[in-house]
Chain A
């Protein structure tokens, strides 16, 4: 609980209209896409770094947690106030301060919705590649904090690769500037930018980001390819990459995902065992050649249908299929244990067939889809959480999947971060020394533990029920 002095001080700092203790707001800032609500004691909407700094300074003296929140679309509970306190929403900090068409950089506030930045720069013939599936409704700040990535990671990398510098308010309230604002190079001091990217709002609050842009590719082609077996599709993926074609998207969907999304989008996919969504971009003549090559390779790997989107409406339709899978899975079972494991690309077939074995062994439904091109697969174990047998089987299946992933030389989270849902598992991948090094950094920057406590590191109270 917050004392009355803290409450009125918050109002003084951010303005009464930008602080709320109302039940309605506490309800609406209690959840993210894990759908495991924990209500905060207050929600504050600061307008910039100065206000964030004052709030954090007070948090240190009065000892209350502060939890940064962007759009609340996280899949691991990063923005949930698990220990109460103040949710600090970046929704008010949402201006694109500048786009530099000469240096190809953008200067944005953290609450800017990623898709809105993208359409803004695309209007100028520029390109901000990171494309989490949630791009139309998640924020740059949240993307930076989770180091979000998407289908384009294969060719263009992830959020980390486009952050030049950051304005960050440290947990103690000090405002720092990391990296550079407009230059690609810069090696003065430690690379704190990389430290903050992916730190899940535990090491600082990003209040401004300086991003790198690229020229917009001249042409893009989108293809949808159907297969009658998952292995054929996975082999086609490897063959495409071996042929030195790097698509900007190379997505795979298994039969469970297909069935589910077909019900929502009604696009005649029933009976198909696997689908690849492939996009190539570059120069006009180059993409035509790539399309022909991809088609040939897919046929060699026994594809049953190959379709190229004729216009931008068809492109949108094809993408809608992919973007709808994750939320639509709930049609199968009420509880979705959602993992995003990554293995080296060459081990993809082993991962996918191994997951099918696990599904059979544990008697659960598992939907797999995702970024086949970079070996990042979203594995969704579907159970009814209210059925004790299924809940247990689901938990066991997740553990099996993580074991398999680590055994294949992979990592247990490619995009979604650790937050609370994956905290119990990090020691499967990290050694005690690894974890201790991270904890030391956290303690050094946040000695009183006020910024987003209870995340990433397993502790007695966060090892609790998962999602």
Chain B
């Protein structure tokens, strides 16, 4: 990881022009300077330089960043504000420790060796007993609160049987050795595993249709991004190592994920997280990371997926939301749109498709109300274009958008692009 001096140098690249204010989702709602990327840089710079008197308010501003990367994308000086924010959070955790709730969630659940944390399993069995059901266009949405997620929000019900635990998925844990087909290692990720297993099912199905062999390595765990965004570098690093090892058990032409955040983590963050670890590590990481592809990127760009023409009805309108971690950190925006053209649905763009949905960076957990305010514009965008279906490419965005559309009374289904193929 970077040194203090490197971070200060990064902060000093900022000329305080303010251009980033026009793209920051949290500033858009708050409309006060400290909530802007520029304000965050000023605060972090002051803190790095040892300024006294920064307290809870400082921490609050650091937490209100969704790590969407919009500012970085828009900054003429390439100031990595989200990177600075993550560093500031890590520093905060180093000094103050994690909050008991976050620490419980992250250390016990996400990093559990086996990909089936007991607490979640128990919750999935019990949820029917104390969840309030809510009938929404979106279907399976219930109100429930787990200790680490916080109450009040609408979340998809936990999967009855987690994706990775399904018998046919377990049967895919090792390669069959068919060398004629491209072999794909599927990185599942928490969102798909626990909450939206249908995305996993679709991913496997479509990849097979596209002529690939799919392997779902069993030793994989959470990608570590939730831990990292809370400032828990230690957990994130150990998760990264476990994943690296899990995927080194086999030989893959590509490693695919259907989650934009996991993709960003595996492609970009791993390099930084594991750099300088031990001899030969950077070569190992490079081998792994350079193979990682988003599902849309793989299908459209590499496997030249043809689609199943003729299906779907042309009168249903689909729109697309760009996940920040896909567009801004992986530069992928065309592929999912091209895939949608193969669904037979009528495509109509929404206003500001690349504006952050508000979920990221732990904001949905640390400040649910702000997160939902950010999502309001998204919901209005969907309403404005009259879509029946919102497609996107990140389980996190899906969860957030479902909740937001429900809250703001917009009737549209939210799905992953691969579910429409």
Contact = CB atoms under 8 A, between A and B. Distances in A.
B33 A72 contact: yes
A256 interface: no
B31 A91 contact: yes
A29 interface: yes
Contact of B43 (A28, A32, A136, A264): A28
Given A28-B33, A28-B34, A328-B77, A136 B57 contact: no
A73 B18 contact: yes
A199 interface: no
B19 A24 contact: no
Interface in B121-161: none
Interface stretch (B46-54, B177-185, B199-207, B223-231): B46-54
A35 B19 contact: no
A27 B22 contact: no
Interface stretch (B9-17, B99-107, B264-272): B9-17
Contacts of B34: 24-25, 27-28
A328 B14 CA distance: 10
Given A32-B16, A264-B76, A327-B15, A94 B22 contact: no
Contacts of B15: 33, 35, 327, 330, 336
A331 B77 CA distance: 7
A22 interface: yes
A115 interface: yes
A138 interface: yes
Interface string A123-139: 00000000000101110
A295 B359 CA distance: 48
Interface string A1-44: 00000000000000000000011110111111111010000000
A229 interface: no
Nearest to A135: B22
A71 interface: yes
B61 interface: yes
A60 interface: no
Interface in B18-50: 18-19, 21-22, 31-34, 36, 39, 42-43, 46
Interface string A293-318: 00000000000000000000000000
Most buried by A among B17, B42, B54: B17
Nearest to A111: B31
A72 B18 contact: yes
B78 interface: yes
Given A27-B43, A91-B33, A264-B76, A22 B57 contact: yes
A45 B55 CA distance: 21
A24 B58 contact: yes
A23 B33 contact: no
Nearest to A136: B22
A258 to B, nearest CB: 14
B86 to A, nearest CB: 19
Nearest to B17: A327
Interface residues of A, number: 40
Contacts of A326: 17, 76
A287 to B, nearest CB: 25
B14 to A, nearest CB: 8
Given A28-B34, A33-B17, A115 B39 contact: no
B249 to A, nearest CB: 39
A73 B17 contact: yes
Interface string B69-95: 000000111100000000000000000
Contacts of B76: 261, 264, 324-328
A20 B21 CA distance: 21
B76 to A, nearest CB: 4
Contact of B19 (A25, A28, A136): A136
Most buried by A among B15, B16, B52, B76: B76
Q: What is the interface of chain B mostly: helix, strand, loop, or mixed?
A: loop
Contacts of B75: 327
Contacts of A37: 42
Contacts of A35: 15-16
B31 to A, nearest CB: 5
A352 B186 CA distance: 59
Contact of B33 (A29, A134, A327): A29
A357 B128 CA distance: 79
Given A24-B34, A27-B46, A264 B18 contact: no
A136 B32 CA distance: 16
Contacts of A92: 31
A326 B19 CA distance: 11
B148 to A, nearest CB: 28
Contact of A330 (B13, B31, B43, B58): B13
A325 B33 CA distance: 23
Contacts of B52: 23
A137 B42 contact: no
A221 B205 CA distance: 47
Contact of A24 (B21, B43, B77): B43
Given A29-B33, A91-B32, A138 B58 contact: no
A32 B14 CA distance: 12
A297 B161 CA distance: 71
A196 to B, nearest CB: 23
Given A94-B31, A327-B77, A24 B16 contact: no
Nearest to A115: B22
A32 B33 CA distance: 11
Contacts of A323: 19
Contacts of B13: 330
Contacts of A330: 13, 15, 77
Interface in B307-354: none
A28 B21 contact: no
Given A91-B31, A328-B77, A23 B17 contact: no
A261 B51 CA distance: 34
A336 B55 CA distance: 33
A37 B36 CA distance: 17
11 contacts: A24-B34, A24-B43, A27-B43, A28-B34, A29-B33, A31-B42, A72-B16, A73-B17, A89-B32, A134-B19, A330-B77
Interface of A: 22-25, 27-35, 37, 45, 71-73, 89, 91-92, 94, 111, 113, 115, 134, 136-138, 261, 264, 323-328, 330-331, 336
Interface of B: 13, 15-19, 21-22, 31-34, 36, 39, 42-43, 46, 51-55, 57-58, 61, 75-78
Given A23-B55, A33-B18, A137-B21, 19 more contacts: A22-B57, A24-B43, A25-B34, A25-B57, A27-B46, A28-B36, A29-B33, A33-B16, A35-B15, A72-B33, A73-B18, A89-B33, A91-B31, A134-B17, A136-B19, A323-B19, A327-B75, A327-B77, A328-B76
7 closest pairs, A vs B, by CB? A327-B76, A136-B22, A23-B53, A328-B76, A28-B33, A324-B76, A28-B39
